[in-house]
């Protein structure tokens, strides 16, 4: 951290998050536009009362079920998530043996190397350090994937995206879990399971539900997934933001 944030500051955790993103930019891990993304996220989080609502808890439970029952789940990481939720990604990946794959909008080999290093210090093998496959029809750098990861994945967990690839991943038959504070963003709108929440709160919730639900029967899993309505989740989140909470 570039300066000491007093622990009793009323906005302590928000200021720490902001510092992490800023340091990430200085370290060449986070892209400059990651600062903009952080600001947008903060604004939506304010309006949500900086808490996880029931529409997030329900979606996190369904996400946990999808990850538990997937054949090839992958956690997609970028510059922002790698500095904001490093510990949470490491924990989810290690506890539930889910591969981690780098996917960048602003691609550069040195960013891929720096991001990979973060996870490798925890003993995690990072996919797509050098992507060797492409997602068809996607024109941005997000098309670059790992043939052993997102390319063959059936469930992909994404967070803080700019919205150009979720639709194509879903069209190609994959289930996409999207964590985004903005219910109007294309990523949650196009996803299979939109989690409208801060990634810092959502990832621990997903892991908690995965631990609670692991070993459940297929029927029990269906109980959570069958009544799930993406449209309702998005509507409830938008209503909470418009009403203020
Ligand atoms: O590292 P790269 O090159 O892949 O770039 C990553 C960023 C985030 C810069 C890139 O994907 C981007 O520009 O994203 P956007 O278009 O700014 O979208 C980010 C979305 O994430 C917005 O809808 C924000 O509201 C949302 N968001 C920001 N912070 C959080 C968040 N959602 C959940 N938790 C947050 N902490």
Measured between alpha carbons, how far is 127 from 93 in angstroms, rounded to an integer? Answer: 12
Measured between alpha carbons, how far is 213 from 208 in angstroms, rounded to an integer? Answer: 9
Strands 144-145, 155-159: pairing kind: unpaired
Tell whether ligand 1 has an atom less than 6 A from the beta carbon of residue 85: no
pLDDT of residue 11: 84
Measured between alpha carbons, how far is 78 from 121 in angstroms, rounded to an integer? Answer: 17
Look at ligand 1, atom 35, and give the residue with the nearest C-alpha: 198
Look at ligand 1, atom 9, and give the residue with the nearest C-alpha: 34
Measured between alpha carbons, how far is 187 from 159 in angstroms, rounded to an integer? Answer: 9
- Using the structure block, give the residue that is written with the tokens 């998530």: 81
Exposed, middle or buried: residue 154 (CB in 10 Å: 0-12, 13-18, 19+)?
middle
Calculate helix-pair angle for 199-213, 86-96, nearest 10 degrees.
20
pLDDT of residue 223: 82
pLDDT of residue 6: 83
Q: How far is the CA of 159 from the centre of ligand 1 (A)?
A: 7
**What's phi and psi for 126, nearest 5 deg?**
-105, 130
Atom of ligand 1 nearest to the CA of 33: 9
- The first and second tokens of residue 229, run together, are 């309505």
Residue 4 has pLDDT above 90, yes or no: no
| pTM, entire model | 0.96
pLDDT band at 2; cut points 50, 70, 90: low
Measured between alpha carbons, how far is 166 from 159 in angstroms, rounded to an integer? Answer: 11
Tell whether ligand 1 has an atom less than 6 A from the beta carbon of residue 88: no
Cβ–Cβ under 8 Å, residues 132 and 112: no
Tell whether ligand 1 has an atom less than 6 A from the beta carbon of residue 102: no
Atom of ligand 1 nearest to the CA of 40: 25
Candidates 58, 125, 60, 66; CA nearest to 90 is 125
Pocket test for ligand 1, best of 162, 189, 203, 234 (most atoms within 8 A of CB): 162
| Mean pLDDT, the chain, whole residue set | 94
Measured between alpha carbons, how far is 34 from 105 in angstroms, rounded to an integer? Answer: 11
pLDDT of residue 9: 83
pLDDT band at 215; cut points 50, 70, 90: confident
pLDDT band at 119; cut points 50, 70, 90: very high
Measured between alpha carbons, how far is 100 from 45 in angstroms, rounded to an integer? Answer: 26
Pocket test for ligand 1, best of 32, 37, 115 (most atoms within 8 A of CB): 37
- Count CA atoms closer than 13 A to 184's CA, side-chain side: 8
Q: How far is the CA of 74 from the centre of ligand 1 (A)?
A: 19
pLDDT of residue 100: 98
Cβ–Cβ under 8 Å, residues 145 and 101: yes
Expressed in angstroms, the distance from the first to the final Cα of the chain is 31
pLDDT band at 72; cut points 50, 70, 90: very high
């Amino acid at each position: 951290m570039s300066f000491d944030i007093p622990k009793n500051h009323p906005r302590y955790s928000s200021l720490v998050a902001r510092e992490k993103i800023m340091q990430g930019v200085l370290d060449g891990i986070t892209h400059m536009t990651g600062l903009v993304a952080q600001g947008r996220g903060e604004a939506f989080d304010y309006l949500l009362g900086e808490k996880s609502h029931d529409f997030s808890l329900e979606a996190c439970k369904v996400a946990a079920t999808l990850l538990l029952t997937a054949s090839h789940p992958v956690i997609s990481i970028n510059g922002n998530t790698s500095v904001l939720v490093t510990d949470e990604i490491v924990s989810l990946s290690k506890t539930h043996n889910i591969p981690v794959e780098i996917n960048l909008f602003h691609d550069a080999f040195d960013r891929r190397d720096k991001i990979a290093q973060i996870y490798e210090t925890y003993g995690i093998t990072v996919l797509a350090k050098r992507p060797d496959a492409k997602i068809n029809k996607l024109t941005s750098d997000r098309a670059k994937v790992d043939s052993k990861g997102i390319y063959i994945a059936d469930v992909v967990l994404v967070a803080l995206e700019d919205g150009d690839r979720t639709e194509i991943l879903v069209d190609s038959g994959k289930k996409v879990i999207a964590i985004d504070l903005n219910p109007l963003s294309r990523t949650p709108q196009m996803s299979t399971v939109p989690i409208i929440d801060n990634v810092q709160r959502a990832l621990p919730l997903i892991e908690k539900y995965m631990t609670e639900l692991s070993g459940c029967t297929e029927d029990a899993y269906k109980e959570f997934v069958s009544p799930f309505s993406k449209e309702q989740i998005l509507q409830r989140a938008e209503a909470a933001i418009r009403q203020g909470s």
